[in-house]
Structure 1
Amino acid sequence: MFININLESAEPIYIQLQHQIIEGIAKGKLKPGDPLPSVRSLASDIGINLHTVNKVYQLLKQDGYILIHRQKGVVINPEGPPKADEEYKQNLKASIHPLIAASICRGIEEEAFLQMCKELFNEFKEEGENK
Structure 2
Amino acid sequence: MLLEIDAQSQTPIYQQICNQLIIGIATNKLQPGEILPSVRQMADEIGVNMMTVSKAYTLLKNDGYILTDRRNGTMVAAKQSLDPPFQARFSRELELLLAEASIHQISETMIQEKIKQIYQKFE
- The two structures have a TM-score, normalised by structure 2, of 0.95
SS in 2 for 1:68: strand
Contact 1:61-1:68 at 8 Å conserved across structures:
yes
- 1:13 offset after TM fit, Å? 0.8
Q: What number of residue pairs does the alignment pair up?
A: 123
Q: Distance in 1 between matches of 2:54 and 2:66?
A: 12
Give structure 1 regions of 4+ aligned residues with deviation exceeding 2 angstroms. none
Contact 1:66-1:76 at 8 Å conserved across structures:
yes
- The two structures have a TM-score, normalised by structure 1, of 0.89
Identical residues among aligned pairs (%): 37
Contact 1:63-1:81 at 8 Å conserved across structures:
no
Higher RCO (CA-CA < 8 Å; seq separation 6+): 1
Matched residue, 1:95:
93
Q: Distance in 2 between matches of 1:33 and 1:123?
A: 21
After the TM superposition, which residues 1-131 of structure 1 pair with which residues of structure 2 at under 5 Å, given as runs? 1-77=1-77, 80-125=78-123
- 1:85 offset after TM fit, Å? 1.5
Tell me, which stretches of 5 or more residues in structure 2 are unaligned? none
- 1:45 offset after TM fit, Å? 0.4
